[in-house]
Amino acid sequence: MFIRSTRKLRLTNQGEQFLQHCKDALGILDNAYAELQNNDAELTGTIRMSAPSDLGRNCVLRWLDDFMQTHPTVDLHLHVSDGHVDLYGQQIDLALRYGSPKDSSLIALPIVLDNRPMLCASPAYLEKFGEPKTPQSLAEHNCLCLGHNDKYFSQWTFERSGKQASVAVSGNRRSKDGDVVRRWAIMGHGLALKSRLDIISDIKEGRLIEIKLGDWQVAPYPLYLICPERRLIDPLFNAVKEYLIDCVQNVLA
């Protein structure tokens, strides 16, 4: 654990790792104690959150408005973008993100794991161009591609019984804003592959129709609440997390 000399003492690599684990454990205990002490206290503080464009504008905005009605001493800073913001550089404490986190240094807490993207189109589009029946038939349709950072997702992958089918799709519209892609789909401009959370209300109200390609499915697209540091997990963080889980469950019910 220690490396000694006649005049100095320092930790080994294993000692450094052990020290970090101890700090993390103490942080968890401090947060648990703070939550216990503040269980009946009014929540205060600022929610500095980033959310995907479609989910942020059409769901999270309304959810957090209701949360602030219940907790009037809470402030909100909401950043809406489909790009992964720099949590440190832009001083964001919480980020809702789709997909399994790739940065192991961040704290990732699941909001919903079994959220599968849906292939969808407007009734007008399907009436005019018909409904695809297999992944391969998507090549015959105008597909609305969503972009992220420097990449557009023009390869759509489906799975069935442990097998995958990956299809190159194309269309005359693409955007790096998920809300724009959803609106194009509603306007009848093509097929879209969208998170169930983003379009469930459009499906229920008939603006969009889910397209099922037999028993082919898209892999789950989980939603996580990301936090850059464990010390930020305080009573307000925990309250927001539990509230978001309830909101998502109500939407998907």
Are both 168 and 122 inside the same structural domain?
Answer: yes
User: CATH number of the domain that 248 lies in?
Assistant: 3.40.190.10
Most confident of 4-18, 101-115, 127-141, 155-169: 127-141
In a domain, 110, yes or no: no
User: CATH number of the domain that 185 lies in?
Assistant: 3.40.190.290
43, two tokens: 């929540």
- What is the model's pLDDT at position 42? 82
* CA pair distance 63, 142, nearest whole angstrom: 33
Give residue-wise pLDDT tens across range 88-120: 778 899 999 998 888 778 899 999 998 889 999
In a domain, 49, yes or no: yes
9, two tokens: 């003492």
- Lowest mean pLDDT of 11-25, 38-52, 217-231, name the range: 11-25
User: In what helix (H) or strand (E) does residue 197 lie, and over which residues does it extend?
Assistant: helix 196-204
Rounded to two decimals, what is the model's pTM?
A: 0.76
Give residue-wise pLDDT tens across range 68-92: 999 999 999 999 988 878 887 788 9
Q: Which domain holds residue 94?
A: 42-105+222-252
What's the average model confidence in pLDDT over 156-181?
A: 92
Are both 129 and 204 inside the same structural domain?
Answer: yes
In a domain, 112, yes or no: no
From start to end of 113-173, where are the E strands?
117-121, 143-148, 151-152, 155-160, 163-168
Are both 121 and 181 inside the same structural domain?
Answer: yes
- What is the model's pLDDT at position 239? 95
Are both 129 and 205 inside the same structural domain?
Answer: yes
Residues ≥6 apart with Cβ < 8 Å to 247:
59, 63
- What is the model's pLDDT at position 27? 55
More confident residue, 224 or 106: 224
Q: 3-state DSSP call for residue 145?
A: strand
Give residue-wise pLDDT tens across range 183-208: 999 999 999 999 999 999 999 999 99
Are both 66 and 22 inside the same structural domain?
Answer: no
237 pLDDT higher than 90: yes
Domain count, the chain: 3
Please name which of 131, 118, 253 lies closest in space to residue 194, comparing C-alpha atoms: 118
In a domain, 215, yes or no: no
In a domain, 217, yes or no: no
- What is the model's pLDDT at position 199? 93
**AA identity, residue 244:** L
Are both 132 and 163 inside the same structural domain?
Answer: yes
34 pLDDT higher than 80: no
99, two tokens: 């997909």
In a domain, 111, yes or no: no
Are both 131 and 179 inside the same structural domain?
Answer: yes
Residues ≥6 apart with Cβ < 8 Å to 226:
87, 94, 95, 96, 97, 101, 106, 107, 108, 109
Are both 50 and 33 inside the same structural domain?
Answer: no
In a domain, 169, yes or no: yes
